Amino acid sequence: MRRLFTAALLAVATAAEAATGVALVHGTGHQTDAYNDYWQSPMVEGVRKGLADPANLVVVNCDFDQYMWDDRAAGCLAQQLTDFIKARQIDRLVVITHSNGGNVMRWILSNPTYDARYPGIIQRVVKVDALAPSSAGTPLADAVIAGNVFESSLGWLLGYKTDAVRQQQVGWMASYNQNYLLGSAGRPALPAPFRDVAGTDVVSAVWSGQAYCGGYTQSVGLEITQNWLDSCSDGFIECSSATAAGSLWFKDTQRTSGGAVLNHNQSRRACFGLESILANDVRN
C-alpha cells in the first residue's frame, strides 16, 4: 500500500512539473515574421497568458506556399517544433494553427514514418486548436487556379498560383483526405485531438463595430469572396471544410464576446475574446 501511495505521489508530482508549450502555426504564405505580420502582438501575448512559463511559446515561420509535405513546409515546421521542444524541454505541446497551417500539421500527425523528426513531435502534442482550418479545401482556391482575380487586399489570403493554393482545391483535398491524411470522415482518427473553430459569417457594414477588428478593408474583401461560398463561411473557408477533420470545438458565435462572428482574418487576431478563449484552453 505504501509503495502504491508513493507511486501515486510521484505521478502527481511529475504531471505538475510537466512543461507545457504552445506553438502558433500560421496559414498559407511565406512568413519570416509571423509574430508581427500574421498573428500580431495582442493575439500572441494574449495566448501566452495561459502558460505557467511565458517563455514556453514559439511562433513558427515557414514557407507554406509549398505543398504540405514539402521540406520547406512540413520539414520547416518539424524542425522548428523539434528545436522548441528540446530548447524548452517541452513535455506537453499545444499547437494552435490557422487555415492551411492545419493541413501542414495534420500531415505531420498523419505520417509518422515520413520524417524521423515526426514521432518526437507527435508523442508530445496533446491537442491541436485549429482555427478556420481548410481541411476540405476551398472553392476560392479552385477559382484562383482557374484564373479568377480577387481583391488585392486579399493577397495575404490567396496569394498567386502557388502549390499551397493548388493543394487547397476542393477535389485535391478530398484526395489527400482519402489517401494521406487522418481525421476526416471514414479515416482513422488522428493521434491527438484536432479541435476545429469555425467562422460562420462576415460582417462588413460600416456602422458595425464587428467589421473593424483585424482591419476593415479585410472584412470588406472577405464579404466579396463570401459570394463564392456557402452561406456558412468566414469569407474564405466554408463551415463544412473547417469541420471536415477532427471534431468541432465551437462555432464562433457560441463563445465569442457578444456572440460575434469571426471572419477568416479575425480568427488569427485578438478579436472578440478569442485570445482569452485560447489562453484558457492552454491552461486545461
| Structural domain for 163, as ranges | 19-199+237-283
- Across 39-44, average pLDDT: 98
Q: How many domains are contained in the chain?
A: 1
Residue 147: pLDDT band with limits 50, 70, 90: confident
Q: Would you say 27 and 98 are in contact if contact means Cβ atoms under 8 Å apart?
A: yes
The pLDDT of residue 14 is above 60: no
Output DSSP code: residue 154.
G
CATH number at residue 73: 3.40.50.1820
- Look at residue 268 and tell me if it is in a domain: yes
pTM for the full predicted model: 0.92
- Look at residue 279 and tell me if it is in a domain: yes
Residue 155: pLDDT band with limits 50, 70, 90: low
- Across 232-249, average pLDDT: 97
Percent of the chain having pLDDT more than 90? 83
pLDDT one-digit tens code per residue, 66-90: 999 999 999 999 999 999 999 999 9
- Look at residue 6 and tell me if it is in a domain: no
pLDDT of residue 176: 98
- Look at residue 129 and tell me if it is in a domain: yes
Task: Characterise 31 by phi-psi region: left (phi > 0), alpha (psi -120 to 50), beta (else).
Answer: beta
Backbone angles phi, psi at 25, to 5 degrees: -115, 115
Output the nine-digit C-alpha cell for 107. 500531415
- Look at residue 1 and tell me if it is in a domain: no
Q: Which residue has the higher pLDDT, 3 or 282?
A: 282
